[in-house]
């Protein structure tokens, strides 16, 4: 007894091909829409807004603003820094002596006083900065 499934198999491959064609067409349309939705104009990008504000002279602090270090306090144009300031600012002062402390507690080299005219590397370190005032 033999069965002939050729007509059934041809019909199934036709259905599979139509399904695959529709799936590929749908995925292609979705990919095109995704790419189109991610484009933006130059007016709403943050960089272009900053450039425009700088060109117009509206915000000059963008050029001169520095990030505040962990061992530094600023009051207008006066800057206080050193180990005492860092201890005062830290929420957990014991983290300052922890070698695996998170970066928000600052780097150990922030409080080292360096002599720029000395020969590197060992003789350029002069001492530790407990407290300093900068203008």
Q: Per-residue pLDDT tens for 62-121?
A: 556 666 677 788 888 888 988 888 888 888 888 888 888 888 888 777 788 877 776 666
DSSP state of 105: G
Helices (H), the chain: 6-37, 46-56, 61-64, 83-89
How many CB atoms within 10 Å of residue 10?
Answer: 10
Q: Per-residue pLDDT tens for 17-33?
A: 899 999 999 999 888 88
Cα-based distances in Å from 111 to 82, 89, 91, 130: 6, 14, 18, 7
Q: Tell me the two tokens of residue 27.
A: 């995925």
Statement: the pTM of the whole predicted model exceeds 0.85: no
Domain map of the chain by residue range? Answer: 1-39, 40-66, 70-134
| Cα–Cα distance measured from residue 83 to residue 108, given in angstroms and rounded to the nearest whole number | 10
| Cα–Cα distance measured from residue 93 to residue 132, given in angstroms and rounded to the nearest whole number | 19
Length of the chain: 135
Predicted local confidence at residue 109, as pLDDT: 78
Predicted local confidence at residue 119, as pLDDT: 67
Q: Per-residue pLDDT tens for 56-74?
A: 766 656 556 666 677 788 8
Q: What is the mean pLDDT of residues 33-45?
A: 63
């Amino acid at each position: 007894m033999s069965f002939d499934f050729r007509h059934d198999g041809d019909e199934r491959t036709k259905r599979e091909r139509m399904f695959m064609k529709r799936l590929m067409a749908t995925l292609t349309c979705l990919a095109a829409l995704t790419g189109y939705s991610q484009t933006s104009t130059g007016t709403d990008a943050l960089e272009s807004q900053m450039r425009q504000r700088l060109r117009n002279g509206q915000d000059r602090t963008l050029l001169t603003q520095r990030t505040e270090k962990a061992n530094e306090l600023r009051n207008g144009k006066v800057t206080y820094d050193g180990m005492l300031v860092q201890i005062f600012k830290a929420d957990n002062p014991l983290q300052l002596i922890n070698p695996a402390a998170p970066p928000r507690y600052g780097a150990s080299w922030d409080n080292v006083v360096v002599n720029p005219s000395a020969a590197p590397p060992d003789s350029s370190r002069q001492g530790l900065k407990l407290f300093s005032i900068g203008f």
